[in-house]
Chain A
Amino acid sequence: MALLTTEQRDALRSAWATEQKDPVAIDKAATSTAIGEIDAWIEAQVIDAFVSMSEPARSGLTNKQKSDLFARIVAKRWEVM
């Protein structure tokens, strides 16, 4: 289940779309749907990423800090942001 509100997803979609310079072959509705699906996947799966960390990171970092690391790794891997 997606946790971001419709307004939050719209704002995220708008910010993302504004920064895209390469062609985007889907429309606003399809992009919003994809954002909701990714949000739902994160809600269901991100805990696996957190528990993949060994100690002392697993208990020494807050979930917010772990999320920050997760986001930076994804950004680096796909050379985005």
Chain B
Amino acid sequence: MASGDTLLIFTPQHNEPTASNAATLDTRNQHLVLDFDDTTNEDGVFRAVMPQSYAGTTGVTVYLHYAMTSATSGDIDWDVAFERVSDSIQDIDSDGFAAVNSVDNTTVPATSGHVDVVSVAFTDGADMDSVTAGDGFRMKVTRDAASDTASGDAELWAVEIRET
């Protein structure tokens, strides 16, 4: 697959809530969104199988589409991590997410309902927990609320994974 091509798209209803500090479903003008708190670091977890079209050379870039519930100033920090759940690779009784990659200090849109898109790049290999074409995996998206400055919930609207 060519660089920039879409591999996967997730929407809020794809979230598999974590046992604690899970982002929560909400609606905004009938748009289903995933709310991330501004004080506690909350997670959204999305499961998929990496498409066979993934070339496995340049890695992937994760695009987060979000809006702020009310904030029109301040910045926001996001973390993303991958967990490979392939053939006899991961005991699903426990979590095995690789280290997070981040996009930090993004100034939020000046209009709270506007959707902003930020991206987090992963190189192929350990950076994305060695997920290859055909591997099952989970991807965890976390708002680093302990570090960012924007007030109120962040509303995750969609997530796209592209070939880098």
* Residue positions of A touching B, CB distance < 8 A: 10-11, 13-14, 17-18, 20-29, 31
Contacts and interface: CB of A to CB of B under 8 A. Distances in A.
A24 B39 contact: no
B58 interface: no
A25 B69 contact: no
B151 A27 contact: yes
A25 B72 contact: yes
A46 to B, nearest CB: 26
B39 A23 contact: no
Q: What's the dominant secondary structure at chain B's contact region? A: loop
Most buried by B among A10, A11, A22, A28: A28
A28 B150 contact: yes
B67 to A, nearest CB: 12
Given A14-B37, A17-B38, A28 B151 contact: yes
29 contacts: A10-B39, A11-B39, A14-B37, A17-B38, A17-B153, A18-B37, A18-B153, A20-B69, A20-B70, A20-B152, A21-B70, A22-B70, A23-B70, A23-B72, A24-B73, A24-B112, A24-B151, A24-B152, A25-B73, A26-B73, A26-B74, A27-B73, A27-B75, A27-B149, A27-B150, A28-B38, A28-B74, A28-B150, A31-B151
